[in-house]
């Protein structure tokens, strides 16, 4: 029997004891009650030790729970700070990225404009050179036509006689034209 059972038994023994007439006292079996009290005394240290152990365990469990709660709270605060810092870093990074993209677009526009200006200048220079070449080609053709008329006049050949040119663009062969000019000479 444990201490609780013994206390219940002692309480029942006292309640069931014969009452003394005209008194609040009762008659109980002294030996039986003392034996129950001795057993209770013997059971109490084991129960008290068990209760002390439970209380110690409870205190240790509560202390461990409180320490764990404090650790979790510190970790949560640290994680919150880390997340806030990351958020601030992310916002700053996004702002910086937007600035870099804007600067890159402006630089690309400037480079495109500079490239277009450069190409336009070069095309203008080529146009001038080509104009000069066209003029030189036209002058050369005029001199060639004048010289041809002079050569034909000197040879006594009329232009209608179809004397081939020194360069035949249809055949790109200079031989027959040179041979004809040599034989005509």
pLDDT by residue, tens only, the chain of 185 residues: 777 888 888 888 888 888 888 888 888 888 888 888 888 888 777 767 777 777 777 777 888 888 899 999 999 989 888 888 888 888 888 899 999 999 999 999 999 999 999 999 999 998 999 999 999 999 999 999 999 998 888 888 765 555 555 554 544 455 555 555 555 54
Residues 53 and 35 in one domain: yes
Return the closest-CA partner of residue 168 out of 182, 158, 178.
178
SS3 state at 26:
strand
Structural domains of the chain, count: 2
Residue 75 is predicted with a pLDDT of 92
Match 């232009």 to its residue by tokens.
159
Residue 169 DSSP code: T
In a domain, 29, yes or no: yes
In a domain, 162, yes or no: no
Domain that holds residue 146: 130-156+167-184
Residues 180 and 96 in one domain: no
- DSSP H stretches of helix in the chain: 3-16, 30-155, 175-184
In a domain, 161, yes or no: no
| Chain centroid offset of residue 15 CA | 82
1-29 burial: b if 16+ Cβ within 10 Å, else e? eebeebeebbeeeeeeeeeeeeeeeeeee
| Chain centroid offset of residue 105 CA | 22
Given a contact cutoff of 8 angstroms between Cβ atoms, the answer to whether 148 and 158 are in contact is: no
Look up residue 136 and give its two tokens: 């030189």
Whether the model pTM is above 0.85: no
DSSP string for 65-109: HHHHHHHHHHHHHHHHHHHHHHHHHHHHHHHHHHHHHHHHHHHHH
Residues 41 and 90 in one domain: yes
In a domain, 102, yes or no: yes
Given a contact cutoff of 8 angstroms between Cβ atoms, the answer to whether 32 and 9 are in contact is: no
């Amino acid at each position: 029997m444990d201490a609780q059972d013994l206390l219940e038994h002692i309480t029942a023994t006292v309640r069931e004891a014969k009452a003394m007439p005209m008194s609040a006292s009762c008659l109980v079996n002294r030996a039986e009650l003392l034996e129950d009290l001795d057993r209770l005394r013997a059971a109490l240290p084991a129960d008290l030790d068990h209760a002390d152990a439970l209380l110690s365990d409870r205190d240790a469990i509560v202390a461990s729970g409180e320490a764990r709660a404090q650790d979790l709270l510190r970790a949560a605060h640290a994680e919150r700070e880390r997340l806030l810092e990351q958020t601030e870093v992310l916002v700053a990074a996004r702002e910086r990225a937007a600035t870099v993209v804007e600067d890159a677009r402006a630089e690309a526009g400037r480079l495109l404009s500079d490239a277009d200006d450069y190409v336009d200048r070069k095309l203008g220079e080529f146009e001038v050179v080509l104009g000069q070449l066209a003029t030189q080609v036209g002058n050369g053709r005029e001199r060639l036509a004048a010289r041809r008329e002079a050569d034909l006049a000197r040879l006594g050949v009329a232009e209608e006689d179809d004397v081939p040119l020194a360069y035949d663009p249809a055949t790109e062969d200079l031989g027959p034209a040179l041979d004809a000019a040599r034989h005509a000479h």
